[in-house]
Amino acid sequence: DTAVSQTPKYLVTQMGNDKSIKCEQNLGHDTMYWYKQDSKKFLKIMFSYNNKELIINETVPNRFSPKSPDKAHLNLHINSLELGDSAVYFCASSQDLSLAGGREQFFGPGTRLTVL
């Protein structure tokens, strides 16, 4: 009954490869996010999706492409992986954009990506 789940938990791959990380939430939330947490624990938002529409796209290289087949899923596809992409990637979801608790973001367990 995990609220936000991600697969895989660990991903080790070679530079130049293409990989995907999957995320699913069973909370009925409208908004989902991808975050990158670097080795210094700094958590930075990459994308968010509200009802399948991209609403935030920070200065993220276009090698990263989020895909949302439905409201409960937000996958992250990464092309031509680079050494600097090594990090922990967290998926999160929130109920909606309203105040009063609607903004609480529930995080998945993270995917630890290592690029060799």
According to CB under 8 A, which one of 8, 103, 114, 116 is a site residue for another protein? 103
Regarding 40 and contact with another protein (CB under 8 A), the answer is yes
Regarding 26 and contact with another protein (CB under 8 A), the answer is no
Regarding 60 and contact with another protein (CB under 8 A), the answer is no
Regarding 72 and contact with another protein (CB under 8 A), the answer is no
Regarding 49 and contact with another protein (CB under 8 A), the answer is no
Name the phi and psi angles at 110, rounded to 5. 95, 150
Residue 65 CB, nearest approach to another protein (Å): 20
Taking the alpha carbons of 83, 88, 92, 97 in that order, is the dihedral positive or negative?
Answer: negative
Regarding 12 and contact with another protein (CB under 8 A), the answer is no
Whose Cβ is closer to another protein: residue 18's or residue 96's? Answer: 96
Regarding 94 and contact with another protein (CB under 8 A), the answer is yes
Bond preceding residue 66 cis, omega within 30 of 0: no
What is d(CA 5, CA 116) in angstroms, rounded to the nearest whole number?
Answer: 25
The SS3 of residue 72 is: coil
Name the phi and psi angles at 52, rounded to 5. 70, 10
